[in-house]
């Protein structure tokens, strides 16, 4: 499925929840379109002294709960439709876990692997210059995403601080600890995945000790998810990345595979494993499938072949609405993206709070606070799923929309004539 349909998936997910809720049409209309989307051109001087102009976007979906928040990805397939969809998912994700943010997302159309370090730095600084009028610690706070990292965030923060003439660590999250980053942020998305898998396993009676796991995508979220699930007793039997995949029936050490990828650029050719295709990995007979790559991986075309008992969506938007319907009928437990991978934005919120207070927490405190939030969010979604008889994604959207609705009504964004002050 092409990227041009991703925002349609968001609208369908919103519509499914709105139908169950009998949602006020005013609320639905406000949630259907982003507040603003900025499109920018970024001229960058390349190492050969030529000028190359890159295309970039920043979308701010809804700020009823607070300043907008969301990552910036550098990827050759970035488009406005994708960025709008990811910003909308962030709105629902932040509302679901109860943090005071709206949703935003950004992206630059580039393959960063084609750039030198100096070119990447000039592009990063140029992008922040271009979007600086609409971002800031009290407006919109960027973060890392696909192919961006703590170094890119450092350049973002430094450039914005120069523009404003004051050190502004709260501009971005996902920074190095030395620049005001939070302990636990680098692995927070995966830690949140682990907490929700643990709670879901209790709910459906799945024994995690010895449970088999396949991980699609072995970047930050995928590799740490494999590590943390392995620490719970799970057996990681398959993993892949954009260059290839590996399978080992007896399981493999996820940390050693991550080291192999760091050294060689891919998980493929790891000693003791056989090659596996992406489609075979997705449809493998395992207990838990962790999609941790890009959007639209589980579709109407392959959903009927999925054999996993549980799908934990470490990636954003890996499952299409049609696939959701098929998987629900097959009684497969899906931990939806706006719940499963919300650990990243939750610890980003912790980082922002620490920056504003200039007071920093230990890793143990960060992990404990994250666990409390993720467990509470899972319980809300699972109880809604059980009480209303809807799938977990619809349940997650319902929990999120209820909070957004309350905030819109309280701020007077919509008028409900039946309510009195």
From residue 56, alpha-carbon distances to 81, 105, 113, 132, 304 in Å are: 12, 11, 17, 13, 37
Q: Which residues fall within 8 angstroms of residue 300, CB to CB, at 6 or more apart?
A: 320, 322, 323, 326
Write down the pLDDT at residue 1. 38
34-169 and 188-340 in the same fold? yes
- Please name which of 336, 350, 344, 341 lies closest in space to residue 16, comparing C-alpha atoms: 336
Residue 143 C-alpha from the chain's centroid? 11
Please give the positions annotated as active site.
Answer: 105
- CA dihedral over 134, 136, 139, 143, signed as positive or negative: positive
- Please name which of 99, 177, 32, 76 lies closest in space to residue 343, comparing C-alpha atoms: 99
What are the residues facing 60 on neighbouring strands?
36, 104
Q: Which residues fall within 8 angstroms of residue 238, CB to CB, at 6 or more apart?
A: 213, 214, 215, 245, 246, 247, 248, 276, 281, 284, 286
Write down the pLDDT at residue 294. 84
- The CATH fold assigned to 188-340 is Rossmann fold (3.40.50)
Structure tokens at 22: 């009998």
Q: Using the CB atoms, write b or e for 376-397: b if 16+ within 10 Å.
A: ebbebbbebbeeeebbbbbbbb
- The CATH fold assigned to 34-169 is Rossmann fold (3.40.50)
What are the residues facing 73 on neighbouring strands?
107
Euclidean distance between CA atoms 406 and 410, whole angstroms: 6
From residue 154, alpha-carbon distances to 151, 171, 395 in Å are: 5, 10, 37
Write down the pLDDT at residue 3. 41
Euclidean distance between CA atoms 352 and 418, whole angstroms: 38
What are the residues facing 274 on neighbouring strands?
247
Q: Are 310 and 331 in contact (CB under 8 A)?
A: no
Write down the pLDDT at residue 295. 87
What are the residues facing 143 on neighbouring strands?
71
Write down the pLDDT at residue 396. 98
Q: Are 215 and 205 in contact (CB under 8 A)?
A: no
For the chain, which residues score pLDDT lower than 50? 1-4, 420-421
Q: Are 341 and 189 in contact (CB under 8 A)?
A: yes
Domain ranges of the chain: 34-169, 188-340
């Amino acid at each position: 499925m092409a990227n041009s349909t991703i925002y349609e998936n968001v609208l369908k997910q919103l519509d499914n929840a709105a139908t169950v809720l009998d949602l006020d049409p005013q609320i639905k209309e406000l949630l259907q379109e982003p507040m603003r989307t900025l499109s920018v051109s970024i001229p960058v001087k390349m190492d050969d002294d030529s000028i190359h102009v890159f295309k970039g976007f920043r979308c701010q979906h809804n700020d009823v709960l607070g300043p907008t928040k969301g990552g910036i990805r550098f990827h050759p397939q970035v488009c406005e439709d994708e960025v709008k969809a990811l910003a909308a998912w962030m709105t629902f994700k932040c509302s679901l876990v109860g943090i005071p943010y709206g949703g935003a997302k950004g992206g630059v159309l580039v393959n960063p692997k084609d750039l030198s370090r100096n070119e990447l730095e000039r592009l990063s600084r140029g992008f922040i210059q271009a979007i600086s009028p609409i971002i800031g610690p009290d407006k919109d706070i960027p973060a890392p995403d696909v192919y961006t990292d703590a170094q890119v965030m450092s350049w973002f923060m430094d450039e914005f601080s120069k523009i404003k003439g004051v050190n502004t660590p709260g501009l971005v999250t996902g920074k190095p600890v030395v620049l005001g980053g939070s302990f636990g942020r680098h692995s927070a998305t995966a830690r949140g995945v682990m907490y929700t898998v643990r709670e879901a396993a209790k709910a459906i009676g799945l024994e995690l000790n010895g449970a088999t796991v396949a991980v699609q995508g072995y970047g930050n979220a995928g590799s740490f998810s494999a590590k943390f699930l392995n620490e719970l007793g799970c057996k990681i039997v398959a993993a892949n990345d954009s260059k290839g995949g590996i399978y080992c029936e007896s399981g493999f050490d996820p940390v050693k595979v991550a080291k192999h990828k760091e050294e060689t650029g891919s998980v493929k050719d790891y000693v003791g494993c056989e090659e596996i295709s992406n489609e075979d990995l997705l449809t493998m007979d395992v207990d838990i499938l962790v999609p941790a790559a890009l959007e639209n991986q589980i579709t109407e075309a392959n959903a009927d072949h999925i054999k996993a008992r549980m799908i934990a969506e470490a990636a954003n938007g890996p499952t299409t609405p049609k696939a959701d319907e098929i998987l629900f009928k097959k009684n497969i437990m899906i931990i939806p993206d706006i719940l499963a991978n919300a650990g990243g934005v939750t610890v980003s919120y912790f980082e922002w709070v620490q920056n504003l207070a200039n007071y920093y927490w230990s890793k143990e405190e960060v992990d404990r606070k994250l666990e409390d939030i993720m467990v509470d969010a899972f319980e809300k979604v699972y109880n809604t799923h059980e009480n209303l008889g809807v799938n977990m994604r619809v349940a997650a959207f319902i929990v999120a929309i209820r909070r957004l609705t309350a905030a819109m009504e309280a701020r007077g964004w919509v008028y409900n004539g039946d309510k009195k002050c």
